[in-house]
Amino acid sequence: MTSATHVDSYYASSANPAPEHPRVQGTVECDVCVIGAGLTGTSAALELAGRGYDTVMLEAHRVGWGASGRSGGQTIFGYACEQAKIRKMVGKEDDRRLWDMSVEAMMLLKDRIAKYEIDCDYKPGHMHAAIKPRQHRELLEWQREMEDDYGYSSLRMVDRDELASLMATGRYMSGLLDEASGHLHPLNYTLGLNAAAREAGAKVHENSPVLALEEIGEHILVKTPEGEVRCRFVLLCGNAYLGDLSEPIRTKVMPVGTYIVATERLDEELATSLIRNDMAVADINFVLDYFRLSADRRMLFGGRVSYSTIPPPSLSHSIRARMTKVYPQLKDMRIEYAWGGNVAITMNRAPHFGRLSDKVFYAQGFSGHGMVLTGFAGKLLAEAVAGSAERLDVFSRIPHHPFPGGRLFRTPALVLAMAYYRIRDLL
């Protein structure tokens, strides 16, 4: 079932104007069909159109309807899994290549915001915060690893006293601040990038879910309810919302629900006291809290996960309880928006990029760390279509395994496995 509107969220209510795009009707011909008009698909379309490829994006709902338009909006360096874990999986040389590409991905996001003059409230600064001594030691080791092994020198430890000068909370004992990371309005960034792709020549069809793919000779037919797209290449960019379109890659990711609330607008004095340097913040629990101020001075606070993707009951109440642990002074503030969405996680939390054939490429499994990496993934897919897949192939060498339990039991198996990490957060 498709939706003619975005989900009811703060982002949708404050979105910049964007046109609606027609459904696919009849037969459409092009060079490349991109399935999914979020950040990965839009980035790929922008690059391909710029290279002269006739490119069509198919979106089951609206541009930015999925995680690209609903996320916490943090633009963070690196990957969702530890870099040391990647090094063990792929070796030292590919690990360094992957790290360097993650840094390039951050630069690409900032360059695009500037080049295309995207109005998305970008602000620099992100801090990972420690609640307990064990986490403080983890942050110190993380900083050492990033500086000594990868030459990443923009991280700075913030002690309790300095933290008190930056944030009006006693929840955290220290933090690792990165001025190169930051935060933005994710839906407006996605809409702005999509406008740039269309300006470059890419076409968009909304409310056009893909039902099936069929290879016929040198071409692929991408079938929708009211028509089809006939193309030479297909890019699968649906991530958590791709569904059953491709069984080989469906089993490698699991959709997980994550949730955010937005308070009413806060007065300037209160808002400024909460986060004085306007950075984004996330703790380093496995089931983490993350938060920041919006451009119009609301507290945007995310937390909770649902491995069944079913939203928890009393969403506003449960996240308010988490928020007031950090900021008791917000206990009487009204929650005006509460929403959620799915992200796709992999077993190892590393991204899952690659090819199904010489005509079909994919990028998925950003594991909640996709605001930066999705844009770069789209660029890699475009490079592969153009005949230069060396960088995509570095990602494809990361080993990925299906979630255990098959279609019926993999969700219960994941819930049991995650119980360990929930307990660890409490220790």
109-119 residue pLDDT tens: 999 999 999 99
pTM of the model: 0.94
What is the distance between the alpha carbons of residues 157 and 163, in angstroms, rounded to a whole number? 10
- Which residues contact residue 76 at a Cβ distance below 8 angstroms, ignoring those fewer than 6 apart? 126, 178, 181, 282, 369, 371, 372
Question: Which is higher by pLDDT, 368 or 98?
Answer: 98
For residue range 35-86, what is the model confidence (pLDDT) as tens digits? Answer: 999 999 999 999 999 999 999 999 999 999 999 999 999 999 999 999 999 9
What is the distance between the alpha carbons of residues 77 and 179, in angstroms, rounded to a whole number? 10
For residue range 113-145, what is the model confidence (pLDDT) as tens digits? Answer: 999 999 999 999 999 999 999 999 999 999 999
pLDDT at 413 > cutoff 50: no
- Give the Å distances, CA to CA, from 191 to 169, 260, 264, 401: 34, 20, 24, 33
CATH number for the segment(s) 123-181+255-345: 3.30.9.10
pLDDT at 87 > cutoff 80: yes
Of 176-180, 196-200, 307-311, 339-343, the range with the lowest mean pLDDT is: 307-311
The predicted pLDDT at position 349 comes to 96
- Give the Å distances, CA to CA, from 265 to 97, 182, 270, 333: 43, 21, 10, 9
Looking at the chain, which residues constitute the CATH 3.30.9.10 domain(s)? 123-181+255-345
Looking at the chain, which residues constitute the CATH 3.50.50.60 domain(s)? 10-70+187-252+348-402
Q: Which fold has domain 10-70+187-252+348-402?
A: FAD/NAD(P)-binding domain (3.50.50)
The predicted pLDDT at position 21 comes to 98
pLDDT at 420 > cutoff 70: no
pLDDT at 293 > cutoff 90: yes
| Mean pLDDT value across residues 241-252 | 93
